């Protein structure tokens, strides 16, 4: 009985894998050289993840970016790392984003 359960489970997993593989959408990407990022072009919800590693961000340019007619809708900002590192760009990025229509997560 256990053997048939294992066979049935395996068939279901293989069938699911084949189904998901055949139904994947082709994902295309756009490279924004001014930001050094690759962004999927056929998504419905667009956001970015930023920290001091990106340097000074031109939030006006981010706000004006269009990907297939869609704009950046949210940004995740790094605040800390561990217990003793504070991101040195967080306050500046947050202050700038508070003036924009882009939602903020931290």
The pLDDT tens digits of the residues spanning 67-79 come to: 667 788 889 999 9
Higher-confidence position of 43 and 62: 62
Element housing 23 (H / E): none
pLDDT at 93 over 90: yes
**pTM (two decimals):** 0.59
Give the count of domains, the chain.
1
pLDDT at 16 over 80: no
> Domain range for residue 77?
2-105
pLDDT attached to residue 13: 75
Angle at CA of residue 93, ends 73 and 63, nearest 5°: 35
pLDDT at 7 over 80: no
């Amino acid at each position: 009985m256990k053997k048939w359960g294992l066979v049935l489970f395996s068939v279901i997993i293989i069938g699911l894998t084949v189904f998901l593989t055949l139904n994947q959408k082709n994902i295309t990407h756009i490279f924004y050289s001014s930001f050094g990022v690759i962004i999927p072009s056929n998504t419905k919800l667009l956001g970015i993840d930023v920290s001091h590693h990106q340097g000074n961000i031109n939030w006006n340019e981010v706000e004006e970016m269009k990907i297939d007619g869609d704009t950046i809708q949210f940004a995740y900002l790094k605040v800390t790392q561990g217990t003793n590192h504070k991101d040195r760009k967080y306050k500046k990025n947050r202050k700038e984003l508070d003036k924009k229509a882009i939602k903020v997560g931290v």
